[in-house]
Amino acid sequence: MMNETEKHEHDHGHSHGDLDADAHALEHIHDHDRQFQPDLEDTPPTRYELMVYAIRELLIEKGHVTQEEITKARNTLESWQPSRGAEIVARAWTDPDFKTRLLADGNEAMADFGVDAGGAKLTVLENTDEVQNVVVCTLCSCYPRAVLGLPPDWYRSKAYRARVVVEPRKVLKEFGTDIPDEVTVRVHDSLADLRYLVIPKRPAGTEDWTQEQLAAIVTRDSMVGVTNPKAL
């Protein structure tokens, strides 16, 4: 698996004939770094990687989709990052009217940030001194991708999906989060068209911070509800 420094960011706007843009990128890396990466490109692609390329080719050839549509979907996916969610939380922390709108209608309020969640109904939950919210999808891994990107491994794991509903406090402890008994834990099983975003509690000591400074401490995990931000 390539790490950040090796990733060859291709402009997704042009096609590559037979090979997918990413497979082509792999070849570039192999050529340039051959002497430094002797093993990286010697492993053949896995069955499912091949399957994705094959599906793509067959669908395009048979006229079911175009490369442009796939590229567009790919770019949209790329725009879905947790930094967007963090911006939204930072604004909610500093702008009470925005927070009210957000809690009433997530899609409407998040449109301010250019968020288009497709058919998903973005539903915002607020952590307070009395309530800690935590989100899961026990049946698969539904997740507010438009504002948090793709879900992390742990969110998709069977361990999380199975256990957070029955022993949330124990699972949160595994993330280093200790919720006292005076705070109620509310778990949300996201199984329909609602997608949940948690506004974590704003930590003390951040009263004079700018929105940028605040957004920087809002972690992806805190917007799922398994951790709480700290004023670093």
Partner 1 sequence: MGPKFTSASEPGRGYHDIGGLDYGEVDPTTTEVAPWEKLSIAISNSMGGQGRKVINTDMGRRAREGMGEEMYNELAYFERTTESMKITLVEQGLFTEEELEERMQDIAKRISEVRGL
Partner 2 sequence: MSQLFGIGDIVRVIDAHPPGHRRTPYYCRGKIGKIERVCGEHRNPEELAYGFDGKPLRRLYRVRFNQSDIWGHYDGPSEDTIDVDIYEHWLRSAE
Active site residue 157: no
Near partner 2 by CB under 8 A: residue from 185, 201, 203, 211: 185
Asked if 104 interacts with partner 1 (CB under 8 A), we say no
DSSP string, 94-156: H-HHHHHHHHH-HHHHHGGGT---TT-EEEEEE--SSEEEEEE-SSS----HHHH-SPPHHHH
User: How far is CA 191 from each of CA 141, 161, 196, 197, rounded to the nearest angstrom?
Assistant: 9, 12, 10, 14
The residue assigned the tokens 């709480």 is 228
82-94 helix and 96-104 helix, angle to the nearest 10 degrees: 120
Size of the site for partner 1 (CB under 8 A): 64
Asked if 28 interacts with partner 2 (CB under 8 A), we say no
Asked if 173 interacts with partner 2 (CB under 8 A), we say no
Q: Report the C-alpha gap between 142 and 155 in whole angstroms.
A: 9
Active site residue 141: yes
Is residue 57 within 8 Å of 21, Cβ to Cβ? no
Range 188-217, binding partner 1 (CB under 8 A): 189
Asked if 191 interacts with partner 2 (CB under 8 A), we say yes
The single-letter code of the amino acid at 49 is E
124 φ, ψ (degrees, to nearest 5): -105, 135
| Choices 50-58, 91-99, 103-111, 127-135; region in contact with partner 1 by CB under 8 A | 50-58
| Choices 109-117, 121-129, 157-165, 202-210; region in contact with partner 1 by CB under 8 A | 157-165
Query: What are the residues facing 177 on neighbouring strands?
Result: none
| Choices 48-56, 82-90, 107-115, 194-202; region in contact with partner 1 by CB under 8 A | 48-56
Nearer to partner 1, 92 or 226 (CB): 226
Tell me which residues touch partner 1 (CB under 8 A): 1-4, 18-20, 22-23, 25, 27, 30, 41-42, 44-59, 62, 64-65, 69-74, 76-78, 138-141, 150, 152-154, 156-163, 165-166, 171, 174-175, 189
Return the active site residues: 137, 140-142
Tell me which residues touch partner 2 (CB under 8 A): 121, 138-139, 165-170, 181, 184-194
